[in-house]
């Protein structure tokens, strides 16, 4: 069994300075250090050596929320659907999994804190505004640019969305996750990393201009529609953090709890029509709306019938459609009244923002993949009735479309058909094509150009590629080599909240 240098040091230090232990003590100490070593061997690379989270979430009692040790053991052995968490049943025994699960529920030796003081101390201004020009240093349609996140080597590429040529490639923080957000004029893009770093990149000057660490384990960020405020959702600490979007200076922290307990924040989004941020909670049945057009940033708390792990909004941000990962049904919450107005027969969503909506002759429809099976639910948003369940080749992660396209694109992220993408007609609701950009290689996450004419797909592999398709003929136009490209984001679509695209 491999011991990390720090663990070896800790073990040696302990044995050198403690008084002789009884046989029973030494047996239990050995078991504890075996479990710690198991953790370092199998878990630390993704979840951090001190369990603070990295590629995977933090694994501390305060961040495990609704999970119990028995469920944690199951996840360790069999993986977790619709996440990057693999199954370890081929590498460790049931007994080891049980010990590991118990270990995760032990408090850390030193409780991890990330205070307002830590936040302030982490703030870096790389380039003050006064030192930079106001004109882009390159020539391209500024509204048809893409940011492509390359998760393989933690970089991002700024791409010209007309010529399909990279303009600039730059290093990002480790393990970015979630959609970056553009300022309304498209000049700045804001990124969040899983370990709490928020970065502001100046697209005109091709420079990361400011950074700040707002937490230890972060979910995502939202930018107010007026471009003034950044709100960040955290798992650890359990809070929301408000920043000034101009160079990320910290303004306010909102600890999250009800009367009984604290809660991780599932995610936060901007509702542009409501001048508010909407945050869903993971461990309490509440939804928070925080107004950003009032100086005190007042919080309205809405009680929900179930937890909200995954959710998205209708086009005018009047309704939130959400589900808990353990539940068998979805809920529709009217943000105006705060009431749950419908329950959907929806066996779980695979991911935040996995659903989309679009207009048809029969009114607005929405579609979301299912969490654990190859199927899509199509729901009429006038009366929330189920229109159709469409079988697919496996559970997908993202559905995407564009007002300028007659089709919806859905990936098959998991299982033997992870290399496939379905293209669905918005009117007939039938699959009209199934593409396999590179047999055996994961193809996922589609985003459209500003006009909806081209669809960009990730070949989600270390030696991967960004593949551009003609969104009407479905023929490949070009492919650019990239390092495990994950999400890609178009400035116009995101700043104009184009229906069906990444918001």
Q: Cβ closer to ligand DHE: 85 or 474?
A: 85
- Residue 342 CA to residue 345 CA, distance in Å, equals 10
Q: Cβ closer to ligand DHE: 288 or 397?
A: 397
- Does 84 sit near ligand DHE (CB under 6 A)? yes
- CB within 8 A of 149, min separation 6: which ones? 156, 172, 176, 180, 191, 485, 486, 487, 488, 489
- Does 353 sit near ligand DHE (CB under 6 A)? yes
> Are the C-beta atoms of residues 6 and 109 closer than 8 Å to each other?
no
Q: Cβ closer to ligand DHE: 72 or 342?
A: 72
Interface stretch with ligand DHE, choices 23-31, 177-185, 206-214, 281-289 (CB under 6 A): 177-185
Per-residue contact flags (x/-) with ligand DHE for residues 31 to 70, judged by CB under 6 A: --------------------------x-------------
- Does 278 sit near ligand DHE (CB under 6 A)? no
To which H or E segment does residue 101 belong? helix 94-104
Q: Per-residue b/e over 314-350, b at no fewer than 16 CB within 10 Å? A: bbebebbbbbbbebeebbbbebeeeebebebebbbbb
In the region spanning residues 195 to 234, those forming contacts with ligand DHE, defined by CB under 6 A, are 219-220
Minimum gap (Å) between residue 161 Cβ and ligand DHE: 15
- Does 396 sit near ligand DHE (CB under 6 A)? no
Q: Cβ closer to ligand DHE: 267 or 443?
A: 267
Minimum gap (Å) between residue 131 Cβ and ligand DHE: 30
- Does 151 sit near ligand DHE (CB under 6 A)? yes
Q: Cβ closer to ligand DHE: 250 or 485?
A: 485
Please count the residues of this chain forming the interface with ligand DHE, following the rule CB under 6 A.
19
In the region spanning residues 99 to 128, those forming contacts with ligand DHE, defined by CB under 6 A, are none
> Are the C-beta atoms of residues 186 and 491 closer than 8 Å to each other?
yes
- Residue 94 CA to residue 88 CA, distance in Å, equals 10
In the region spanning residues 464 to 493, those forming contacts with ligand DHE, defined by CB under 6 A, are 486-487
To which H or E segment does residue 278 belong? strand 276-281
> Are the C-beta atoms of residues 310 and 289 closer than 8 Å to each other?
no
- Does 267 sit near ligand DHE (CB under 6 A)? yes
In the region spanning residues 415 to 444, those forming contacts with ligand DHE, defined by CB under 6 A, are none
- Residue 170 CA to residue 158 CA, distance in Å, equals 8
* Cis peptide bond prior to 237, omega within 30° of 0: yes
Cα torsion at 110, 107, 177, 56 (round to 10°)? 120
Q: Cβ closer to ligand DHE: 48 or 445?
A: 445
Task: By CB under 6 A, name the one of 33, 83, 122, 273 that touches ligand DHE.
Answer: 83
- Residue 51 CA to residue 36 CA, distance in Å, equals 11
Task: By CB under 6 A, name the one of 76, 216, 352, 379 that touches ligand DHE.
Answer: 352
Minimum gap (Å) between residue 135 Cβ and ligand DHE: 29
Chain CA centroid to CA 262, Å: 21
Closest CA to 426 of 494, 482, 365: 365
Minimum gap (Å) between residue 164 Cβ and ligand DHE: 19
Residue 411 has phi, psi (to 5 degrees) of -90, 160
Q: Cβ closer to ligand DHE: 96 or 490?
A: 490
Task: By CB under 6 A, name the one of 264, 418, 422, 445 that touches ligand DHE.
Answer: 445
> Are the C-beta atoms of residues 500 and 358 closer than 8 Å to each other?
yes
- Residue 399 CA to residue 501 CA, distance in Å, equals 9
Interface stretch with ligand DHE, choices 82-90, 100-108, 236-244, 355-363 (CB under 6 A): 82-90
- Residue 93 CA to residue 91 CA, distance in Å, equals 7
Minimum gap (Å) between residue 21 Cβ and ligand DHE: 40
Q: Where do contacts with ligand DHE occur on this chain (CB under 6 A)?
A: 57, 82-84, 151, 177-179, 219-220, 267, 351-353, 397, 445, 486-487, 502
């Amino acid at each position: 069994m491999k011991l990390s240098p720090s663990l070896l040091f800790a073990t040696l230090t302990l044995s050198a300075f403690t008084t002789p232990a009884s046989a029973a003590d030494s047996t239990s100490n050995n078991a504890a250090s075996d479990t710690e070593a198991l953790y370092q061997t199998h878990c630390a690379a993704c979840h951090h050596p001190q369990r603070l989270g990295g590629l995977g979430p933090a694994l501390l009692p305060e961040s495990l929320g609704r999970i119990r040790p028995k469920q944690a053991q199951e996840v360790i052995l069999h993986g977790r659907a619709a996440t990057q968490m693999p199954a370890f049943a081929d590498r460790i025994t049931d007994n080891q999994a049980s010990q590991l699960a118990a270990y995760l529920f032990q408090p850390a030796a030193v409780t991890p804190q990330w205070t307002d003081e830590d936040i302030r101390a982490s703030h870096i201004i790389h380039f003050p505004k006064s030192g930079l020009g106001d004109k882009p240093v390159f020539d391209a349609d500024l509204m048809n640019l893409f940011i492509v996140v390359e998760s393989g080597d933690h970089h991002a590429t700024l791409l010209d969305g007309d010529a399909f040529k990279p303009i600039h490639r730059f290093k990002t923080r480790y393990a970015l996750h979630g959609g970056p957000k553009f300022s309304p004029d498209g000049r700045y893009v804001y990124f969040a990393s899983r370990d709490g770093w928020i970065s502001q990149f100046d697209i005109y000057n091709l420079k990361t201009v400011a950074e700040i660490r707002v937490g230890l384990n972060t979910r995502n960020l939202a930018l107010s529609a007026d471009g003034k405020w950044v709100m960040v959702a955290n798992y650890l600490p359990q809070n929301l953090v408000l920043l000034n979007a101009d160079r990320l200076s910290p303004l306010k922290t909102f600890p999250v709890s009800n009367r009984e307990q604290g809660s991780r924040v599932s995610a936060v989004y901007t509702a542009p029509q409501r001048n508010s941020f909407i945050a869903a909670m993971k461990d309490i049945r509440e939804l928070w709306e925080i107004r950003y057009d009032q100086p005190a940033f007042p919080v309205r708390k809405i009680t929900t019938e179930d937890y909200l792990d995954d959710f998205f909004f209708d086009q005018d941000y009047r309704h939130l459609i959400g589900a808990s990962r353990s539940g068998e049904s979805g809920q529709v919450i009217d943000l105006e009244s705060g009431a749950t107005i419908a329950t959907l027969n929806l066996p779980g969503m695979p991911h935040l923002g996995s659903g989309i909506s679009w207009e048809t002759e029969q009114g607005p429809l929405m579609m979301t993949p299912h969490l654990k099976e190859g199927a899509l639910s199509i729901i009429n948003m006038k009366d929330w009735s189920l229109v159709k369940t469409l079988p697919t080749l496996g559970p997908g992660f993202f559905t995407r479309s564009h007002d300028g396209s007659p089709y919806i694109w859905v990936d098959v992220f998991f299982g033997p058909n992870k290399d496939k993408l379905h293209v669905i007609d918005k009117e007939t609701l039938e699959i009209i094509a199934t593409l396999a950009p590179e047999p055996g290689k994961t193809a996922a996450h589609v985003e459209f150009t500003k006009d909806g004419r081209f669809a960009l797909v990730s070949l989600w592999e270390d030696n991967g590629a960004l593949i551009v398709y003609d969104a009407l003929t479905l023929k490949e136009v070009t492919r650019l080599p990239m390092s495990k490209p994950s999400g890609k984001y178009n400035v116009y679509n995101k700043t104009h909240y184009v229906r069906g695209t990444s918001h």
